Amino acid sequence: MKRRFLTLSMAFALIILGDAEMVNAQKSKLYTAANKKVTVYVTAKGTDDRMKQMGTLTFTSNPQPVETEVAIFVDPSKTFQTMLGIGGALTDASAETFYKLPKDKQKELLTAYFDKNKGIGYTLGRTSIQSSDFSSESYSYVKNNDVSLKSFDVSHDKKYRIPFIKEVTAAAGGKLTLFVSPWSPPGWMKTNGDVLHGGKLLPKYDQQWANFYVKFIQTYEKLGMPIWGLSVQNEPMATQTWESCLYTAEEERDFIKNFLGPTLYKAGMAGKKLIAWDHNRDLMYQRASTILEDPASAKYVWGIGFHWYETWTGAGMNFENARLVAKVFPDKKLIFTEGCVEKFDFNRLNDWALGERYGLSMINDFNAGTVGWTDWNILLDEKGGPNHVGNFCFAPIHADTRNGSLIYTNSYYYMGHFSKFIRPGAKRIVSSASRDKLLTTAYINPDGKLAVVVMNKTDENIDYSLWIKGKAAKTTSPAHSIETLVVE
C-alpha cells in the first residue's frame, strides 16, 4: 500500500508540475555535452578571419566553475521563442544595383546571401508596396483619383524588382518568407496631397487603401511571389522628405480593426501575418498596448515590428521596450523589420563599428524574444543608393558599379554568424555570460545542433569556457570579434 501511495503521489506531482516543466525536465536529463565536439567560427578585427573555422574544442568535466573564471553558461533544457528567419530587404535600389553587375557577380551575390552552405543562408525578405526612399523615383500602381483601383498595375516593378525577387527565391532553394510594407498611399488619398512629407490617409479612402493591400498581394502572388505577411505602415510617426504617412496609435488601431483586418479576411487572407507599428523601439510599448489591448484590433495582429533608429536622438538602442512588449503580450510575436547604418561614407566601408552595431542589436533583440530579424537593403551602390532624396546609407554588401566589383563590409559577416548557423525552426535556449564584456545568445536547431554566438566589443582577448551541464570547453574570444560555436 505504501509503495502504491508513493507512486500515485508522484503521478499527481507530475500533473501539477505541468507539461512544460516535464518537457524541460526530460530534456535536461537527455542533453549532455559528453562526447560532443565544438566547432568554432570567428570574425575578428585586425585579422583576415571572416567566419573562419578555427578548429574544434572538446569538453572536460567541470562541475562547479569558480568566480575567477569567465564562462558562457548554456542550458539547452530551457527554451524560448522559435526562429522565423533572418534576412534583408529586396528594395528597388537593391534590384536596380544588382542588374548593373556582371552576371558572375550577380551569381556571387545570390550565393553569398542565400546559399545556406556556400553563403549565409538568408530566409527572410521584405519589399515595399509602391515606392520608398530607396527607389530611383516616386511612383504609384494606380492613376490619380482611381477610387475603383481598376488601373492597378505593377509594370514598374517588372523591370528590376520582380525579376530580382524571383532570382533571390530560387537562390534560397525556392522558398522565401517575404513580407511587404507601404511607405505611403497615393498622394490623392492623403491630407497633404503628396506621397512625400508625411500627411495622413483621408478617412474617406480608408476602404480603398485597405483594398490596395489586397490588390498588391494578389498581383504579386499571381506573378509567382508568395507573400507571407504585411505591415500596416512603415514608420507611422515620421514625417520624412521621402514617402511617408502618419498614424497615431489610435488611428492605426482603428484602421486595422475597421478596415485592413476585415478586408484581408474577406479576401481569404486571414493567414497573412499582419505586423503593427513597424517603427522604432522608443514608442513600441505605447503603440503595442494601444493596439493589442483592444480585442477587436488585436485579433487581426500577428505581431509588432520594430526598427533601431531611436538612436537618431543620440540615445542608445532601447532593448528594454522590446522585452516589455514580449513579456506583456506573450501571444504576439516580435519581428525586427528594418535597420541600417545611415550617412553613407565610402571611406567607412571597413569601419568595424558597422558590424558591431548589428551584433549588439541582434543578440539583444533575440534575447528579448524577437522571432525574425530583417536588415534593410541587401545591396547598394558605391554612393549608398540609388535613393531619390539623397538619403544614402550602408548595406552589408556594396556594388562598385564603376568596375563591377562587390565590397563586403563586416556587417555581412556579423549577420552571417546568426543566419548561417541559426536556422528557421530553431529554439532559443539559455546562454548566460558571467562577465558583461561578452554578449551571447544561443539556439538549438531542428537537427539538434547548438549554435552559441559570443561577441566581444572590448580591446582585449578574453579567455572563457563554454559550460553545459557540468562539462566545459575552453577557448578565447579575440578583441572586437564575433564567434559562433556549433556543438554537435
Burial 226-238 (b: 16+ CB within 10 A, else e): ebbbbbbbbbbbb
Cell (9 digits) for 93? 535600389
Residue 171: inside a domain: yes
Q: How far, CA to CA in Å, does 89 sit from each of 134, 141, 157, 165, 307? A: 10, 20, 15, 10, 13
Q: Are residues 196 and 309 in the same domain?
A: yes
Residue 30's pLDDT is: 79
Residue 399's pLDDT is: 98
Q: Could you give the angle at which helices 352-367 and 319-328 cross, rounded to 10 degrees?
A: 20
Q: What is the DSSP letter of 317?
A: -
Is 188 in contact with 95 (CB distance < 8 Å)? no
Residue 29: inside a domain: no
Q: Are residues 192 and 247 in the same domain?
A: yes
Report the alpha-carbon distance of residue 191 to residue 184 in Å, rounded: 12
Longest dimension (CA), the chain: 87
**Domain boundary pick from 369, 402, 424:** 424
Among 384, 367, 476, smallest CA distance to 430 is for 367
Beta-bridge partner residues of 38: 57, 487
Residue 25's pLDDT is: 43
Q: Are residues 462 and 362 in the same domain?
A: no
Residue 22's pLDDT is: 41
Structure confidence at residue 181 as a pLDDT band (50, 70, 90) = very high
- Can you tell me the mean pLDDT for 270-290? 98
Is 121 in contact with 87 (CB distance < 8 Å)? no
Q: Are residues 42 and 96 in the same domain?
A: no
Residue 160's pLDDT is: 98
pLDDT one-digit tens code per residue, 223-273? 999 999 999 999 999 999 999 999 999 999 999 999 999 999 999 999 999
Residue 455 has pLDDT above 90, yes or no: yes
Residue 29's pLDDT is: 59
% of the chain surpassing 70 pLDDT: 94
pLDDT one-digit tens code per residue, 359-391? 999 999 999 999 999 999 999 999 999 999 999
3-state helix vs strand vs coil in the chain, percent to 5: 35, 30, 40
- Can you tell me the mean pLDDT for 322-341? 98
Residue 292's pLDDT is: 98
Residue 20's pLDDT is: 47
Residue 87's pLDDT is: 98
Spacing of C-alpha 96 from chain mean position:
23
- Can you tell me the mean pLDDT for 45-51? 98
Number of structural domains the chain divides into: 2
What is the rounded average pLDDT for all residues in the chain?
Answer: 94
Is 214 in contact with 263 (CB distance < 8 Å)? yes
% of the chain surpassing 90 pLDDT: 93
CATH number of the structural domain spanning residue 57: 2.60.40.1180
Is 85 in contact with 372 (CB distance < 8 Å)? yes
Q: Are residues 111 and 92 in the same domain?
A: yes
Residue 12: inside a domain: no
Strands (E) located in 296-350: 303-307, 333-338
Residue 320's pLDDT is: 98
User: What are the catalytic residues?
Assistant: 235, 338
Residue 212: inside a domain: yes
Structure confidence at residue 478 as a pLDDT band (50, 70, 90) = very high
Residue 17's pLDDT is: 41
Q: Are residues 228 and 179 in the same domain?
A: yes
Residue 277 has pLDDT above 50, yes or no: yes
Residue 25: inside a domain: no
Q: Could you give the angle at which helices 2-17 and 19-30 cross, rounded to 10 degrees?
A: 100
Q: Are residues 259 and 398 in the same domain?
A: yes
Cell (9 digits) for 339? 535597420
CATH number of the structural domain spanning residue 408: 3.20.20.80
Q: How far, CA to CA in Å, does 260 sit from each of 130, 182, 278, 433, 464? A: 17, 13, 16, 44, 51
Is 194 in contact with 241 (CB distance < 8 Å)? no
Among 476, 364, 359, smallest CA distance to 38 is for 476
Residue 4: inside a domain: no
Residue 21: inside a domain: no
Q: Are residues 72 and 163 in the same domain?
A: no
Report the alpha-carbon distance of residue 212 to residue 254 in Å, rounded: 17
Burial 7-27 (b: 16+ CB within 10 A, else e): eeeeeeeeeeeeeeeeebeeb
Domain that holds residue 250: 85-424
Is 5 in contact with 433 (CB distance < 8 Å)? no
**Domain boundary pick from 409, 424, 439:** 424
Residue 5 has pLDDT above 60, yes or no: no
Q: Are residues 121 and 148 in the same domain?
A: yes
Q: Are residues 74 and 195 in the same domain?
A: no
Cell (9 digits) for 282? 522608443
- Can you tell me the mean pLDDT for 134-155? 98
- Can you tell me the mean pLDDT for 133-141? 98
Phi/psi of residue 263, each to 5°? -65, -40
Report the alpha-carbon distance of residue 301 to residue 272 in Å, rounded: 10
Q: Are residues 391 and 438 in the same domain?
A: no
Structure confidence at residue 27 as a pLDDT band (50, 70, 90) = very low
Is 80 in contact with 429 (CB distance < 8 Å)? yes
Q: Are residues 381 and 440 in the same domain?
A: no
Residue 230: inside a domain: yes
Structure confidence at residue 165 as a pLDDT band (50, 70, 90) = very high
Residue 33 has pLDDT above 70, yes or no: yes
Phi/psi of residue 463, each to 5°? -75, 135
Please state the pTM of the whole predicted model.
0.93
**Domain boundary pick from 378, 398, 424:** 424
H-only helix segments in 268-409:
284-292, 295-298, 319-328, 352-367
Report the alpha-carbon distance of residue 439 to residue 364 in Å, rounded: 8
- Can you tell me the mean pLDDT for 405-419? 98
pLDDT one-digit tens code per residue, 421-436? 999 999 999 999 999 9
Q: How far, CA to CA in Å, does 237 sit from each of 106, 206, 245, 282, 318? A: 36, 18, 8, 11, 17
Is 94 in contact with 379 (CB distance < 8 Å)? yes
Cell (9 digits) for 236? 507611422
Beta 71-82 vs 462-468: how paired, if at all? parallel
User: In residues, how long is the chain?
Assistant: 488
